[in-house]
Amino acid sequence: MASKAVQVETQRDKLERKEAAILHAARSVFVDNGFDGARMSEIAKTAGVGEGTIYSYYESKAELMLAVLQQFWDGLTLEARNVMAGVKAPEAIKRLDALATYHLEIVIRNADFINLSFALRRNNSEVSVSRDHLRQYVSVFDEIFRRGQDRGEFRPEFLLWHARDVFYGTLEYSARSIEVVADTKGNDRPQKPVIDNLIALFANHFGTSDQPSDMEKSSEQLNRIEAKLDQLLS
Amino acid sequence: MASKAVQVETQRDKLERKEAAILHAARSVFVDNGFDGARMSEIAKTAGVGEGTIYSYYESKAELMLAVLQQFWDGLTLEARNVMAGVKAPEAIKRLDALATYHLEIVIRNADFINLSFALRRNNSEVSVSRDHLRQYVSVFDEIFRRGQDRGEFRPEFLLWHARDVFYGTLEYSARSIEVVADTKGNDRPQKPVIDNLIALFANHFGTSDQPSDMEKSSEQLNRIEAKLDQLLS
Amino acid sequence: MASKAVQVETQRDKLERKEAAILHAARSVFVDNGFDGARMSEIAKTAGVGEGTIYSYYESKAELMLAVLQQFWDGLTLEARNVMAGVKAPEAIKRLDALATYHLEIVIRNADFINLSFALRRNNSEVSVSRDHLRQYVSVFDEIFRRGQDRGEFRPEFLLWHARDVFYGTLEYSARSIEVVADTKGNDRPQKPVIDNLIALFANHFGTSDQPSDMEKSSEQLNRIEAKLDQLLS
Amino acid sequence: MASKAVQVETQRDKLERKEAAILHAARSVFVDNGFDGARMSEIAKTAGVGEGTIYSYYESKAELMLAVLQQFWDGLTLEARNVMAGVKAPEAIKRLDALATYHLEIVIRNADFINLSFALRRNNSEVSVSRDHLRQYVSVFDEIFRRGQDRGEFRPEFLLWHARDVFYGTLEYSARSIEVVADTKGNDRPQKPVIDNLIALFANHFGTSDQPSDMEKSSEQLNRIEAKLDQLLS
DNA sequence: CATGAATGAGAGTTCATTCAT
DNA sequence: AATGAATGAACTCTCATTCAT
């Protein structure tokens, strides 16, 4: 009886291992060749299964691609949360530094795939990452930034989406530039300066600094004005 | 003789019109279906020519795609320079405002195409926008920023590429967000705030404090108000 | 277990039958239409398989043609050797008679194909019968002739290639003539006289005089007739 | 008026020159690429005319090929007759030597074309050299051989077609062998020995020699038999 | 459930032929 | 008469999907 249970378990495991192998192979082949360029036969060979077998796990090439995409974004989110859990520092700026480092690395390594994701969103109605998966990923940033505002590290007047656009936008554009430059010469543009500059920008622009910023100066002035009006009224 | 000249001109024009029609049709079909999804027969039908005709203008589907891409990026650069030529203000910050407005608009309208461009760079070695075309486009920003540094509007210690990453990165990420949001609900995120926030960021982060920013202009006004109150009080 | 063995055998057989069907169909369609004139779709239809199926047996049309050519020449050689094995007589002249009869028959029946072979050798570098296949075929003649020289039937001073040129050349040219004539009128030129003349030529020209040729045997008969007449007269 | 006549003549000449140029170009392109491999556009370019122009001289590609073939065979015949006219010796064997030399040379140089001729005869009912053109060419041999028989150089009992098969067959087969060998190594098999052997064969086998051949001995014997029967009858 | 041989619709591309100029 | 741009039918070959084993 025990042996049967074990065998059943093994059977289930086997299926899961096979499915994982297919997903893994698919990802690799899709990244190398794009959606249309990828051949089901190559995915099957890479996964070590028959071509027909894939179709007992996924209804079509498009559905397989979809599964790959979802797994990719889910993995990204999970990994990002793991990374953040490993950062003990409570300061938002330090946490953002860690997130930026992770994100830039990921974006550079998976540039092909990310491009593919967005290209598919447009051209292939069948295959498109759900908005939810993307949203979940960016929520990692959102939480840090909001907490930074709560902790008084970031100015409360800034809108979340603006900070998010600057953060992810800058990193992704940088990744592309690094990539393009890397194609031509040696790796001329290392990643560290990109992170440092971005973090400095966040500290300076979004941060509450001890040197009175224009806005702080203005509000001091407003305080004085209010005091003077009080004088006039009194 | 005049009539012959006219006829010759008409001949040449006809070819040019046909080539333009093919390019236009190709762009439309490529954007709608992606590179592999696009069918030459549909491009031909859309352009109102025979299938074979395309091949007397372009050697292959890949070359046609390339021509479309180059035309697109060249047009983008040209238009950007036109826009900038129309901006009379010499202040870098005002010029960046105009450029950002133009770029965001363009990126939103051509999101499909831009995604396609970058997707192709990776998967299809045959078809890829040359780095030169991209470089020419971003040079519009580069010139403004450098001139801003020369004029003392932007701090000289900032590296060009960092400012460029923030500028284009933020705009492109915003465009994507606007797009995604627009897909779901009505146009919730208009473009104006995106521009305003980015320009404020540039003024604040990259700017030298003695250049009166919008915010600083406000504080000048506050100064005047305070002065007048002082008069009243004295 | 037996049934399983049978089934496995059947599987293998099925593939072989399919491949043979394709090869057979291809030959027929190629002969009827030439290499360029032959359509893969017609070959597929004739073979009773799908178009794609052909491509899992042969990489391309050219490779299919090559396979057909090789099968043809190999079969020719094999059959020629079989025919020669059936000829018990040791005399080279009798063996050549059998070979010539076989060859002429074959060349007439497969004139289309042989022409195609040689036409392809020139125009299509991809598709050409290897020299080896042709050499193997003519080696059947070579062996007989050399053995004839060893046995003292043929004069040793004659070069092999010269005899070979006369043998195959005469037969092939005759075949073409027979063919051309047959096109116009009824079968005016039967094959037997061609063979007889060629064999007589070999006996006379290449032969050593002490070997009784057909003609000499006839003269023996004449001797006998003369003797009998002498009896009558005496 | 004279000038007009000249111009008219020039006009006619121009057409003829153009037609000759097309025919010449066509031959060259057909030989290099085969019938299907040849492109009308290349023929036009080679001839220095527009593509459409060809169609005002020849109705179709097939008809053009036909014209090329006929011109080729006619030229061959004409040249052969010229060569023979230059041979002053009256002996058939010497004339055959000259013809064989010319023919072998021609066949080697135009192997592609000759193969093409025969390949087309089978595959393309539209394009095929008329039997008459071939017959005219071989008639050059026929005349020499018949005259040889008349002159007592060749035995009268041999059938024309047999000698013809041996003559042309041997030469063509030799040409092919020379060609095949030349492909591999250097020109190992020069043409002279081929001719010499063939001519020796003709002298020996078809010739009337001073040593009484088997056949002559037989016919002497038949004479004696006849004489004895005459005795019986008298 | 797993397989991979078989399928055939559909792709990009070619090129003989036409016809407006 | 001469041109060559335009045509589109027809080609070879690919590959996602099916299904008998």
> Across the 234 residues of chain C, what is the mean pLDDT of every consecutive 10-residue run?
50 80 94 91 95 95 93 93 94 95 92 80 66 88 96 92 96 88 62 92 85 53 69 74
Q: Please determine, for residue D194, whether its predicted confidence score (pLDDT) is greater than 90.
A: yes
Quote the tokens at residue B107.
């990126």
In chain C, what's the furthest Cα-to-Cα distance? 88
Contacts 24+ apart (CB under 8 A), D33-42: D33/C123, D34/C36, D34/C119, D34/C122, D34/C123, D34/C124, D34/D116, D35/C36, D35/D61, D35/D65, D35/D116, D35/D120, D35/D124, D35/D127, D36/C34, D36/C35, D36/C36, D36/C37, D37/C36, D37/C123, D37/C124
Q: What are φ and ψ of residue B48, in 5° steps?
A: 75, 30
In a shared domain, residues C157 and C81: yes
Give yes or no: residues C50 and C71 share one domain. Answer: no
Closest CA to B71 of B108, B104, B25: B25
Reading the block at residue C30, the tokens are 């190629």
| Nearest protein residue to the C1' atom of E19, measured from CA | D52
Quick: pLDDT tens for A7-54.
Answer: 555 667 777 788 999 999 999 999 888 889 999 999 999 999 999 999
- Identify whether residues C89 and C117 lie together within a single domain: yes
Exposed e or buried b per residue across B151-176, where buried means at least 16 C-beta atoms within 10 angstroms of its C-beta: eebbeeebeebbbbbbbbbbbbbbbb
Please check the confidence at residue D229 and state whether its pLDDT lies above 80: no
Q: Are residues A76 and A8 in the same domain?
A: no
State the amino acid at position B189 in one-letter form: R
**How many angstroms away from the CA of B166 is the closest CA of chain A?**
5
CA dist list (Å): C22 to C29, C37, C63, D90: 10, 17, 13, 58
Q: Strand E contacts (CB < 7 A) among C residues 34-93?
A: 49-53, 55-57
- Asked whether the predicted pLDDT for residue B186 surpasses 90, the reply is no
Successive 10-residue mean pLDDT values, chain A, 234 residues: 54 79 94 90 95 94 92 92 94 95 91 78 64 88 95 92 96 88 62 91 85 57 74 76
Tell me: do D34 and D119 sit in the same domain: no
pLDDT given for residue C117 in this prediction: 82
Residue D137 has a pLDDT of 92
- Does D118 sit within 8 Å of C112, measured CB to CB? no
Q: What is the pLDDT of residues D144-171, one digit of tens each?
A: 999 999 999 999 989 999 999 999 999 9
Axis crossing angle, helix A92-109 with helix A111-123, rounded to the nearest 10:
80
Using one digit for the tens of pLDDT, what is the confidence trace for D77-120?
999 999 999 999 999 999 999 999 999 999 988 887 887 787 77
- Is residue A36 domain-shared with residue A152, that is, in the same domain? no
Q: What pLDDT shows up at residue D179?
A: 78
**Given CB atoms, is B4 within the 8 Å cutoff of chain A?**
no
What gap in Å lies between CA A172 and CA B172, rounded to an integer? 9
pLDDT for C195: 95
In this structure, what CATH number is given to the domain that contains residue D142? 1.10.357.10
Domain count, chain C: 2
Distance CA A176, CA A133 (A): 22
What is the pLDDT at residue D109? 87
Mean pLDDT, range B171-193, rounded to an integer? 77
Q: How much is the CA Rg of chain B, to the nearest whole Å?
A: 24
Higher pLDDT, B3 or B204: B204
Q: Which nucleotides of F are covered by protein (CB under 7 A)?
A: 1-21
B53 shares its domain with B134 = no
- CB pair distance less than 8 Å for D183 and C131: yes
CATH number at residue D26: 1.10.10.60
* Distance in angstroms between the alpha carbons of the first and the last residue of chain D: 90
Record the tokens describing residue C131, joined without a space: 């020299």
Q: Do chains D and B touch (3 or more CB pairs under 8 A)?
A: no
**Same domain membership, residue D216 and residue D140:** yes
- Are B54 and B69 members of one domain? no
Q: How much is the mean pLDDT over chain D?
A: 84
Last residue of a domain, one of C58, C80, C97: C58
C47 & C87 share domain: no
Protein chain D, residues 5-64, with a C-beta closer than 7 Å to any atom of nucleic acid strand E = 38-41, 51-52, 55, 60-62
Structural domain for A71, as ranges = 65-233
> Residues C165, D194: contact at Cβ < 8 Å?
yes
Tell whether C204 is within 8 A of chain D (Cβ). yes
Q: What is the pLDDT of residue B211?
A: 44
Do residues D7 and D73 share a domain? no
**Which of B43, B58, B73 delimits the end of a domain?**
B58
- Residue among D131, D88, D133, D105 nearest D190 (CA): D105
Q: Which residues pair with B207 in a beta bridge?
A: B154
pLDDT at C217 (0 to 100): 52
**φ and ψ of D192, to 5 deg:** -55, -50
pLDDT digits (tens, 9 = 90+) for D24-44: 999 999 988 889 999 999 999
Whether D165 and C123 lie within 8 Å, measured CB to CB: no
Tell me: the pLDDT tens digits for B13-38?
A: 777 888 999 999 999 999 888 899 99
Q: End of a domain among D15, D38, D58? A: D58
Q: What is the pLDDT of residues D71-88, one digit of tens each?
A: 999 999 999 999 999 999
CA distance D184 to D194: 19
User: Which chains touch D (3+ CB pairs under 8 A)?
Assistant: C
- The answer to whether B14 CB is within 7 Å of strand E is no
Q: What residues of chain B lie within 8 A of the CB of A175, using their CB? A: none
**D228 touching C (Cβ < 8 Å):** yes
Same domain flag for D171 and D221: yes
